[in-house]
Amino acid sequence: MTILLAPMEGLLDFALRDVLTRVGGVDRCVSEFIHVTDALLPERVFLRVVPELANAGRTPAGVPVRPQLLGSDPACLADNAGRVGEMGTTGVDLNFGCPAKVVNRHGGGAALLQDPELLHRIVAAVRRAVPPEMPVSAKMRLGFLDDARAVDCALALQAGGATELVVHARTKAHGYKPPAYWERIADIRAAVQIPLVANGEIWTVADAQRCREASGCHDLMLGRGMVADPGLALAVLAADGNASGRTPAGWDELRPLLRVFWGIVCTKVEPRARAGRVKQWLNYLRKRHPEAEQAYQQMKTVNDSREIERLLDALAQGDQARV
């Protein structure tokens, strides 16, 4: 089984990718989207979103990261794919699933699912712009307002030269509200020949097993479920008999990783946003780890970086009395 770590704008960025891939179980990451409009972006823009490009396109734990491009102009996307390809990436991913209104208003993300012919032209242009051995993957939703053209869109992406397709099992209209319609992925899987990865509403091992059964997909992409439970990928692999002896991460393993996360945030994130990043992750962790509740309640009103650091140091050392 291959497990991918999802891109999540405003949440799952390079800092969280670093920490989550240290836990283990993830085979590849996809970055949050890099918005391409009408210009060839300078290398610094790609490095800001995907600093792993300075490390041969891999996280410090050695997990490959595939930059994701978002836009609607085939020629401009091709130019930027060519540039990021020259920077040492192991592949390029294309976003056809973002449901954000500001993105969709400008014809990007999930809005493109209304025009399969344009999907084909975008992928074909990007495919021509990068070396033939470089993977060009794509991520789509089931559709925009409905899923009537889901198979047409997938076939268009395949015909354009996509080497892999991730399907988020909801439409743009569904947003992130449960449930995910995994059975519709099975319809796409029956129509395409390229590798297909199922995504959406996978929070537990049981969810992963039901998703694989309903979708017919062997491979999965994990998003919010992995943020809430960093040991989820290893737990899924263990349930499938493929964990290679590694055990899922429990709270005692996660406590020091919160301090590591803070250190990464402090080197890359502007000071006023640092405390919020830690509280954001703790808010997810308390959904799956009751022990995170105390830390979250202690920090939720704290914005002073020195106090956040003190509390995280105490947490890392297992001194609950000081947290």
3-class SS of residue 28: strand
| Cα 36 from Cα 122, distance rounded (Å) | 12
Is the backbone of residue 315 left (phi > 0), alpha (psi -120 to 50) or beta? alpha
pLDDT in tens, 127-183: 999 999 999 999 999 999 999 999 999 999 999 999 999 999 999 999 999 999 999
CATH number listed for the domain at residues 251-322: 1.20.225
pLDDT (0 to 100) of residue 309 = 95
211 is catalytic: no
Q: Is the pTM of this model over 0.75?
A: yes
Tokens encoding 98: 């973002």
Helices (H) and strands (E) in the chain, counts: 14, 8
- Give the residue extent of every domain in the chain: 3-239, 251-322
| Cis amide leading into 51 (omega within 30) | no
| Cα 95 from Cα 276, distance rounded (Å) | 27
Q: What's the average model confidence in pLDDT over 260-272?
A: 93
| Cα 207 from Cα 161, distance rounded (Å) | 31
pLDDT (0 to 100) of residue 243 = 60
Angle CA(66)–CA(27)–CA(153) in degrees, nearest 5? 55
Model confidence at 242, pLDDT cuts 50, 70, 90, reads: confident
DSSP E strand stretches across the chain: 3-5, 28-35, 65-70, 92-96, 136-141, 164-168, 196-199, 219-222
Tokens encoding 240: 């499938």
Tokens encoding 196: 């297909």
Q: Is 251-322 the same fold as 3-239?
A: no
CATH number listed for the domain at residues 3-239: 3.20.20.70
pLDDT (0 to 100) of residue 16 = 96
* CB of 127 closer than 8 Å to CB of 154: no
Annotated catalytic residue, options 98, 153, 211, 217: 98
pLDDT in tens, 76-126: 999 999 999 999 999 999 999 998 888 887 789 999 999 999 999 999 999
